Amino acid sequence: MVEILIPVRPTGKRLLCINTGCGFQKIKSSEQQEWINIDCSETVKPDIVSDLDYGFSHEILDNSVDVIYANHFIEHLWLPLDFLANCWRKLSLGGVLYIKCPNGALISHPCHKGFFSEAWFSILDPAHPEHYEIRDAISGKCE
């Protein structure tokens, strides 16, 4: 098990958190946090079996998630921008998306479908000349 420390909201509300591509590293729920572990493999016995290249399970409502944890996961997706758009859709106002991935310039792995660096994520910055707006992907405005 992996333990993630996330601050409790002042309201005392229990946080809804998602661990994407959990593999065997499931995160346990606590009094403050309800964790849903998602993986595409039934073998690892996740809470929800789902291929996140095709979106989140319909069991997870839009604007309902407080934390999405993607630790060494996004590099395994064929459609990482679609994944980010789906995260944006599921996160509640003030929600947090935590992404950690290997530096694609340094590491290659046969199971990785994409290679990422800080430059890849910079396109999400509104100041970037080729800024990619996640909301446009959801509404179908992106080419």
Mean pLDDT of the chain: 76
Tokens of 52: 């996140």
Provide the 3-class DSSP secondary structure of residue 86: helix
19 pLDDT higher than 90: yes
pLDDT at 112: 57
Q: What is the pTM of this model?
A: 0.74
78 pLDDT higher than 90: no
Tell me the HSE value of 107 on the side-chain side, using a 13 A CA sphere.
11
Q: Out of 13-17, 43-47, 49-53, 72-76, pick the least confident.
A: 72-76
Q: Out of 35-39, 85-89, 94-98, 135-139, pick the least confident.
A: 135-139
pLDDT at 2: 41
Higher pLDDT residue, 21 or 136? 21
Digit-coded pLDDT (tens) for 103-134? 655 556 556 556 566 666 666 666 766 655 55
43 bridge partner residues = none
138 pLDDT higher than 90: no
pLDDT at 117: 60
Digit-coded pLDDT (tens) for 23-56? 899 999 998 899 999 998 999 999 999 998 888 8
Residue 120, classified by CB atoms within 10 Å of its CB into exposed (0-12), middle (13-18) or buried (19+), is: middle
